[in-house]
């Protein structure tokens, strides 16, 4: 595996993406969208894990260089990031990576805030072949009903933010519009995939979700 930085422009300024390149040749990529903390070492570690599975992993920096280390700052930064700004950054990361890295198929995943953006991107952006958002918020119905990208939505039944009511709404909209979305639920808390947070990390749920998402992306990309 090797690392590189992808630099690109967006509507609201220049930014970068952390890129983890696999040892094997390939043109399949997974966009890894950050939690509300920013593009920190944990997100880069997830990208490295995707590269170890044979994917080019691209983690765009939605905060343009800023990283939060406490919940108050993370909340301020997340609420200061407009949906359109984040989507524009993801769109430009896809376009730049397509040109510079010669990628033919993109998947997208994300965690917490990143899950919100991953699901929304799957509804609104071109060029995505699969999506696996983890415990992100769901867009309004008129956006969600546009979903055509095969998607696995991962959530925890103990999550008080993306709670069971929100997930039930997602499942209801999925059924009514026959959307290509599978809901995958674990008896776990919000951020259960984050192994740097022992107070919420659930190793069994995280490992099972990882295996299922890797299989999903290998099938769809």
**Nearest Cα to Cα of residue 28 among 132, 87, 121, 98:** 98
Convert the pLDDT of each residue in 140-199 to its tens digit: 999 999 999 999 999 999 999 999 999 999 999 999 999 999 999 999 999 999 999 999
- pLDDT value of residue 104: 80
| Structural class in CATH, domain 2-220 | alpha beta
Give percent helix, percent strand, percent coil of the chain, each to the nearest 5. 40, 25, 35
**What is the pLDDT averaged over residues 1-11?**
95
DSSP 27: -
Q: What is the pLDDT of residue 79?
A: 96
| Token duo for residue 44 | 């880069």
In tens, the pLDDT along 9-20 reads 999 999 999 999
Kindly report, residue by residue over 67-106, the tens digit of the pLDDT. Answer: 999 999 999 999 999 999 999 999 999 999 999 998 988 9
Mean pLDDT across 120-143: 97
pLDDT value at position 35? Answer: 97
- Three-class DSSP category at 36: coil
Tokens at 148, concatenated: 């055509």
Q: Domain coordinates of the chain in residue numbers?
A: 2-220
pLDDT in tens, 19-78: 999 998 778 999 999 999 999 999 999 999 999 999 999 999 999 999 999 999 999 999
Is pTM beyond 0.85 here? Answer: yes
Beta strands 56-60; 28-33: pairing state: parallel
3-class secondary structure, 88: helix
Predicted pLDDT of residue 105: 87
């Amino acid at each position: 595996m090797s690392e590189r930085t992808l630099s690109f422009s967006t509507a609201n300024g220049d930014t970068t993406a952390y890129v983890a390149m696999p040892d094997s040749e390939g043109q399949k990529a997974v966009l890894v969208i950050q939690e509300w903390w920013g593009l920190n070492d944990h997100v880069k570690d997830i990208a490295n894990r995707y590269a170890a599975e044979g994917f080019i992993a691209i983690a765009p920096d939605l905060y343009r260089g800023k990283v939060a280390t406490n919940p108050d700052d993370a909340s301020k930064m997340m609420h200061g990031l407009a949906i359109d700004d984040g989507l524009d950054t993801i769109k430009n990361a896809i376009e730049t990576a397509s040109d510079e890295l010669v990628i033919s198929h993109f998947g997208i995943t994300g965690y917490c805030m990143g899950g919100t953006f991953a699901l929304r991107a799957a509804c609104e952006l071109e060029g995505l072949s699969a999506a696996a958002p983890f415990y992100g918020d769901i867009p309004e119905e008129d956006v969600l009903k546009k979903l055509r990208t095969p998607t696995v939505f991962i959530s925890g039944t103990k999550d008080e933010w993306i709670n069971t009511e929100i997930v039930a709404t997602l499942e209801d909209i999925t059924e009514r519009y026959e959307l290509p979305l599978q809901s995958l639920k674990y008896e776990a808390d919000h951020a259960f995939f984050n192994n740097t947070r022992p107070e919420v990390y659930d190793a069994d749920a995280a490992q099972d979700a990882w295996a299922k998402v890797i299989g999903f992306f290998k099938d769809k990309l």
